[in-house]
Structure 1
Amino acid sequence: MNQIIFGTHAVFEALSVRPQDVYQVVVMEDRQSKKLKNVIEIAKQKRCPIEIKNRRSFEKWISQRTKGDVGNLTHQGVAIETRSKNYISLSELETLIQTKNKIFILVLDHLADPHNVGALLRSAACCGVDVVCFPKQGAAQLSPTVYKVAAGGIEHLALCRVANIRYLLSLLNKWQVKCFGLDMKGDRSIYEVSVPAKVAMVIGSEEEGFNQNVAQSCDEIVRIPMSSALESLNASVAGSIGLFEFAHRQETS
């Protein structure tokens, strides 16, 4: 199955990391920016076919292939059609865990908003997460919007789709990965817990958080301490804070 990726950052990273998967690069004529020039230059270096379209043709092309999944996001005058990114299997995940001295895994438990998923994937890539796991159904998948918001971060992450998050957490426990759920009702602050070399952070859905089975499968539920002014943070903001804090603590422990 093919994937459409738009936006200069997302396209540039895909061309840099896996040019062999790119079928074509489509550029809107009369668009000029330093980043777009960099995209065209790397496409030429990687010998990827480039097609120039006028505004009307470009926007029709991208609309048809994304089935309208652009929303209010700007395409920045460039898009690519590429082979879908490969997912790793559970057995490959186990091998990674067993062979690495340190591993950081992000588990997304049924997040539905593609903007939240994209923002979390971008943060995950920035702070050095190794693998992101998410369910095959009942959650936002890797849509063009997710790719755009992630701004190229997806290309630097291993991705694993699973049928059941609770089952995944049971495997991680078996493989000696400590799983922390991030929720405003957590008993301890993220700043109070020790972060081991092999750790997973689990982030629940925007509306309902964790279901009881997932919460019970975590080793511990932790929270971000807040003033009482607001009830909670947006899922991607809270998740990003947790990711960077755990990454720092894991690095210095």
Structure 2
Amino acid sequence: MKQKRTRRGPGAPGGLEAVFGVHAVRALLERGITPTELWVQEGEAGARLADLVEAARAGGARVQARPRDELDRLARGAAHQGIVAFAAPLAFEAESALWFRLEAWPHDAPPLLLVLDGVTDVHNFGACLRSADAAGVHGVIVAKDKAAPLNATVRKVACGAAESVPVYQVTNLARALAKLKALGVWITGTAGEAEALVFEADFSGPTALVMGAEGKGMRRLTREACDQLVKLPMAGSVSSLNVSVATGICLFEAVRQRGPASPGAVSRKP
């Protein structure tokens, strides 16, 4: 099911979504996703971005030189770095695909899943996806409601992770967590009032790490569905961390426990 998109900037080809920035565009090409069209800033940017331009052109993309002010208007404040690619919009993976994959688990290592409850900020969402990709997470789970869309800003912030990590959209998060438990996945939620530290949790088996929205944290039903709650030790004056920072710390504790052979994220490509 596709998430409703935000309105595209002026000049964007119909039916396509803009992907801004060098890292995000390079990630598209490295994953075999050829944009339909590529806009490159006129002037010195063309020479600086020659490798990306040639790779996109070789894949069949139409390349156009455009003035900087046009790219600025399209990016609406995003750091486009002189390059914008237009590709098909991303879509969430269906909930049925999650259960199919888990019931016929194809990997030797146990699943490592990231669950985001109420994370609606696209910058935080993109940063969480980037951490998930780096940590070898097999899939990210979000609810149909109160969740950020998979839009151009997420793709920009994620630097390619939005294309590589499967993002499953479930209708009811509490029910989905209950089904994960029935499949043998241990649910670990994060909460500031928890007694145990994240470093005391066991992430070596099938694991789903649940991160709540900043400020509000996990919703009540989500919290009740967790097998255990953990927290990060906070030694300073601030009481909490940005959700994407906390996600990275918790995920890499799981990586540490699982050892250097932890598998990479499952590609979205068929």
TM-score (norm 2): 0.83
Task: Please say if 1:142 is aligned against 2:150.
Answer: yes
CA distance, structure 1, for counterparts of residue 136 and residue 236 of structure 2: 31
The structure richer in helix per residue is 1
Superposition pairs of residues 170-181 of structure 1, within 5 angstroms: 170-181=178-189
Q: Deviations over 1:33-88 (max 9, x none)?
A: 8873332132123222211112233334x25xxxxxx44x3111111111122432
Point out where structure 2 has 5 or more consecutive residues left out of the alignment: 1-14, 263-270
Letter in 1 for 2:142: F
**Mapped contact 1:179–1:202 kept (Cα < 8 A):** yes
Point out where structure 1 has 5 or more consecutive residues left out of the alignment: 64-69
Letter in 2 for 1:188: A
Task: Please say if 1:193 is aligned against 2:201.
Answer: yes
- How large is the Cα RMSD of the aligned pairs? 2.1
Task: Give the one of 16, 23, 47 matched to 1:2.
Answer: 16
Task: Please say if 1:164 is aligned against 2:172.
Answer: yes
* Residue 196 of structure 1, CA deviation: 3.1
Pair 1:51–1:34, CA change in 2 (3 A): closer
**Mapped contact 2:90–2:150 kept (Cα < 8 A):** no
Identity of aligned residues (%): 30
* Residue 24 of structure 1, CA deviation: 1.1
Task: Give the one of 47, 50, 54 matched to 1:37.
Answer: 50
Name the structure 2 match of 1:90.
95
Name the structure 2 match of 1:67.
none
Task: Please say if 1:229 is aligned against 2:237.
Answer: yes
Name the structure 1 match of 2:251.
243
Aligned residues: 244
* Residue 220 of structure 1, CA deviation: 0.9
CA distance, structure 2, for counterparts of residue 151 and residue 35 of structure 1: 19
CA distance, structure 2, for counterparts of residue 112 and residue 86 of structure 1: 16
SS of the equivalent of 1:106 reads strand
**Mapped contact 1:8–1:35 kept (Cα < 8 A):** no
**Mapped contact 2:36–2:60 kept (Cα < 8 A):** no
Name the structure 1 match of 2:72.
59
Name the structure 1 match of 2:160.
152
Task: Please say if 1:81 is aligned against 2:86.
Answer: yes
Pair 1:106–1:31, CA change in 2 (3 A): farther
CA distance, structure 2, for counterparts of residue 43 and residue 149 of structure 1: 21
Task: Give the one of 92, 116, 121 matched to 2:124.
Answer: 116
